[in-house]
Amino acid sequence: MGGIVLIDPKQEADLIYRRLSALFTAQWHCQYRIDVVNDHYGQTFNFFMDIKRQHHRERSIPLHTLRTTDLVTLERVITELRQQTQLSLNFVSFGRTRWPLSQRWIH
Amino acid sequence: MDYRHEPHGLFFMIDNKSFYASVESVARQLNPLRSVIVVMSEADNTGSGLVLAASPMAKKLFGISNVSRQYEVPDDPRILVVPPRMNLYIQENLKINKIFREYVADNDLFPYSIDESILDMTKSCRLFGKTPEEVARRIQLRIRHEMGLYTTVGIGENPVQAKLALDLQAKHDHELIGRLTYESFPEAIWPITDLTSVWSIGRRTAAHLNRLGIHSMRELAMVDPYELQAEMGLIGAQLFALAWGIDRSQLHQLRPAKEKSWSNSQVLPRDYRSQQEIEVVIREIGLQVTARMRHHHQQAGCVSLGIGFARAGEAEDGRSGFHHSCRIEPTDNAQLIAATLLRLFRQHWEGQAIRNISVGVSRLNRSQGLQLDIFQDPQRQLKNERFDRVIDELRDRFGKTAVIPASSLLPGGTMLSRAALVGGHNGGNSFD
């Protein structure tokens, strides 16, 4: 029995922001990026913090998982998140799709 | 060898290729066979970090193996390092076993480890394909399509053949399938000279066999089983059976262990030198083990303590640690057991730096009320008993850290930081 899971975009974005703030130490020669992965197998959207320091191993740290496949929900979470952080977002495995609300390309 | 009276079934041993690394790859929509991922635990007690799993490519390109240390992993930008999420791996393992249940009856499925299961396909194989290989392929594709994971299948007429087919053949096979039968066994297994590559033969056993002049599986198969048993005990007979691919275990009739015991151990986050710090941890583990035992309504008649010295401690006197046990009046009282452990520790510890502590309780029997001790205040004894029960109930209802001994807040205590770990590693984000 799946049932409808209510996802509050603000709450989810806050949680993601809290976790990423702890990881974002703003070092020199270091790229920070949020990966948003469309996980077809798990039927979830996964968030990771990707940290790339020049000449060092890349790190990818899980931030959160949204247990839904609904793009509208994801779009709302992303909109909330964008208001809190300027870090670049990298969308993985979405193909050529538009956001359902804004009708912009997902990239 | 006459195999007619040996069990002839059909067993699949299925394992996930680099399980943790593969799950992490799939979560990032990377191909598990092509990604260069290393799952690295940075729990307190792993020092700088410990590799729990490396993807096949990471192993191939950089020679990273499991249990490598962080400093052994090259600082190369092509490598993606991720923290472990033990809870996620457990969930994925449950999903995989659910798929297996569509191919065998519940009674014929035997999960063997977090990424390996034994399937007794004797009765159901023909429902799903003409040959065992075809059925194995079908299960592999199903898991690949539904979960994105690659699986390796060993097929045998008994569980040990399936395990060896998995370890020695399937892992190197293009299709990731290997098969052994009584007939093919000598040809496939006997030429092996690296004995430790064979399941159940460790470094020490291999060295023992080498001393007896046995350097290959063929030589093991040709030895006189009675002589081998006289030399090595029951293990000798077992090894001889292994060399001939014989396994008479009946998985359906799992035997309960004769003498059950409870134990916990942990590697400390650093070398401990101060008696007070060490005793805090001994007490913590003692309480933990006692709580587990009490959950099963048992009492212990024997308590044992194992101490492993730090590398620095080893050099001082040659020994690498000590292990002592002590018989006690059967009890399930945590304070008594902790007191016994501390007594053992004080008797045998000579100031060495230590890194490893294990605590065990054995000679168990059912708790049937409390046997009062004539030399102690009966009211006090009853109160102690009730105290333990209340603590247990509080922890059951509100979690392991609901009540902790104040001593765990002293320097050295590890209980709080370990409470969130699963199998000693990070369980993952708790509110995902």
Q: What is the CATH number of the domain that holds B221?
A: 1.10.150.20
Produce one character per residue of B41-55: b if its CB has 16 or more CB atoms within 10 Å, e if not: bebebbeebbbbbbb
CA angle B36, B40, A42 (to 5 degrees): 65
Mean pLDDT of B390-419: 81
**Domain final residue, candidates B165, B183, B201:** B183
B17 located within any domain: yes
Are A42 and B82 within 8 A, CB to CB? no
- B431 → chain A, closest CA residue: A64
Q: What is the CATH number of the domain that holds B140?
A: 3.30.70.270
Residue A89, pLDDT above cutoff 90: yes
Contact between residue A66 and residue A77 where contact means Cβ atoms under 8 Å apart: yes
pLDDT of residue A2: 44
- A48 → chain B, closest CA residue: B28
Are B77 and A64 within 8 A, CB to CB? no
Average pLDDT of every residue of chain B: 89
- Within this chain, do residues B21 and B142 fall inside the same structural domain, yes or no? yes
| Nearest residue to B304 via CA among B265, B333, B271 | B265
- Within this chain, do residues B228 and B155 fall inside the same structural domain, yes or no? no
CA–CA separation, B282 and A14 (whole Å): 41
Strands B262-272 and A30-39: unpaired
User: Looking at the 3D structure of chain B, how many domains does it have?
Assistant: 3
CA–CA separation, A19 and B375 (whole Å): 57
B116 is catalytic: yes
- Within this chain, do residues B7 and B143 fall inside the same structural domain, yes or no? yes
The arrangement of strands across the sheet holding B262-272 comes to B262-272, B354-366, B298-309, B321-331
Q: Return the SS3 of B321.
A: strand
- Within this chain, do residues B223 and B135 fall inside the same structural domain, yes or no? no
- Within this chain, do residues B285 and B171 fall inside the same structural domain, yes or no? no
B285 located within any domain: yes
- Within this chain, do residues B290 and B420 fall inside the same structural domain, yes or no? yes
Q: Give the residue from A8, A17, A41 with the most B CB atoms within 10 Å of its CB, the best one to mutate.
A: A41
Range name among A10-24, B22-36, B221-235, B309-323 with the lowest pLDDT average: B309-323
pLDDT, tens digit, for every residue of B253-303?
A: 766 666 789 999 888 888 899 999 999 999 999 988 998 898 888 899 999
Q: Give the residue from A47, A58, A59, A94 with the most B CB atoms within 10 Å of its CB, the best one to mutate.
A: A58
Q: Which of B116, B277, B279, B284 is catalytic?
A: B116
Q: Which residues of B touch A59 (CB under 8 A)?
A: 80-82
- Within this chain, do residues B166 and B267 fall inside the same structural domain, yes or no? no
B431 located within any domain: no
The arrangement of strands across the sheet holding A44-53 comes to A88-92, A30-39, A44-53, A58-66, B80-82, B37-41, B50-54
Q: Which domain holds residue B229?
A: 190-252
Range name among A57-71, B147-161, B393-407, B412-426 with the lowest pLDDT average: B412-426
Judge whether B246 is closer than 8 Å to chain A, CB to CB: no
Chain A contacts in chain B segment 7-26 (CB below 8 A): 26
**Domain final residue, candidates B133, B166, B183:** B183
Are A63 and B79 within 8 A, CB to CB? no
B432 located within any domain: no
- Within this chain, do residues B79 and B41 fall inside the same structural domain, yes or no? yes
Phi and psi angles of residue B4, each rounded to the nearest 5 degrees, phi first: -60, -30
Q: Give the position of tokens 């087919």.
A: B165
CA–CA separation, A72 and B24 (whole Å): 26
Token pair for residue B112?
Answer: 């063997």
Confidence of residue B45 (pLDDT cuts 50, 70, 90): low
Contact between residue A2 and residue A57 where contact means Cβ atoms under 8 Å apart: no
Are A92 and B29 within 8 A, CB to CB? yes
Range name among B153-162, B192-201, B320-329, B362-371 with the lowest pLDDT average: B362-371
Are B432 and A35 within 8 A, CB to CB? no
Q: What is the CATH number of the domain that holds B380?
A: 3.30.1490.100
Mean pLDDT of B139-146: 96
- Within this chain, do residues B202 and B308 fall inside the same structural domain, yes or no? no
Judge whether B32 is closer than 8 Å to chain A, CB to CB: no
Nearest to A55 among B38, B75, B432 (CB): B75
B26 located within any domain: yes
Using a 10 angstrom Cβ sphere, with 0-12 exposed, 13-18 middle and 19 or more buried, the burial of residue B370 is: middle
- Within this chain, do residues B238 and B179 fall inside the same structural domain, yes or no? no
- Within this chain, do residues B310 and B422 fall inside the same structural domain, yes or no? yes
Give Cα B299 distance to the centre of its chain. 25
* Min Cα separation A29/chain B (Å): 13
Residue B430, pLDDT above cutoff 60: no
